[in-house]
Homo-oligomer: A and B are copies of this chain.
């Protein structure tokens, strides 16, 4: 009986060990990922910070807590335009940024954000998801160990605040304007002087006439800068007709995830891409309604000779970039072909409807 009793105890002990080891196995089958995301925008930036935070919280909700993403602002990681490098190296698993900040790394990255006189948000999304854009994005970024997803279209940006009205191309000659990147190169080709001034000094520079014009974003961001008080002409946009932001994921880390988490990340990025367009439209539209009510702001569209000069300069610059990078050539070519195919449809639907409404 003693032996039987001992056997009984042995059974208990073994069972207890087995239960605890099985429990461990069950939990570790559902590993928890704690990832960090570096965003390019300072904490509290309207729309943009929201988008990164909602991406992170949506992933956490959908994974039932299996993936947690800590969002770091430049105040912490110190490199607003270094997201590409930090994600490529794996220093951060993820980033939220805009592809066109990285043309120095790879010229092909520029046009995944936007192109002057290019696609509207609706056209851009159609290109990404049905016109081959997403496949090109993955191709370009996989060379840099990054999986990139479109993650936020910021809608059509305004052309900037001007102290004086522009009635012809001549009025632009020699004007100093804060307008960065590719658009800055375009205006330089037609005789303007693009200048770089820190955000905190822009208002004073414009007030004192150190600069004549400034391009910033749209009413929701511009209003806080106060440009409407000192530059009464607000020009309609041509240079960023639907700028798309991106979520970057380190490719090695992404490839090592289970398939359900990969699907959740891809879908959350797409949700943010969609949502930020709604939020950008909403905030800009409502702030505009308020600004317009408070102050006499003159909405102007550049005259045809100015627009034609911008178009010509832009086209020449695109050719130069394409000549230097086969990948950039592919992206530019794909976008131009797509836009050629769909632009008449936009004209007889979106444009015509807004006119007749």
Contact = CB atoms under 8 A, between A and B. Distances in A.
Nearest to A66: B260
Nearest to A27: B26
Chain A residues touching B, range: 35 or more
Interface string A105-118: 00000000000010
A155 B130 CA distance: 15
A33 interface: no
A91 interface: no
Interface of A: 3-4, 6-8, 10-11, 14-15, 18-19, 22-23, 26, 58, 61-64, 117, 120-123, 125-126, 128-131, 155-156, 158, 219, 236-238, 241, 258-260, 263-264, 267-268, 270-271, 273-275, 277-279, 281-286, 288-289, 292, 299, 301-302, 307, 341-357
Contact of A356 (B15, B301, B347): B301
How many copies of the chain does the oligomer comprise?
Answer: 2
Contact of A281 (B3, B268, B345): B345
8 contacts: A3-B3, A11-B11, A120-B353, A129-B282, A241-B357, A267-B271, A271-B271, A285-B344
Contacts of A267: 58, 62, 267-268, 271
Contact of A274 (B263, B270, B289, B349): B270
Instruction: Kindly name the residue among A19, A26, A58, A354 whose own CB sees the greatest number of chain B CB atoms within 10 A.
Output: A354
A295 to B, nearest CB: 14
A48 to B, nearest CB: 15
Nearest to A262: B61
A353 B158 CA distance: 10
A249 to B, nearest CB: 16
A58 B259 CA distance: 12
Given A3-B7, A123-B281, A299-B348, 14 more contacts: A6-B7, A18-B19, A22-B23, A62-B263, A126-B281, A158-B349, A236-B349, A236-B352, A238-B353, A264-B264, A282-B342, A284-B349, A301-B355, A351-B351
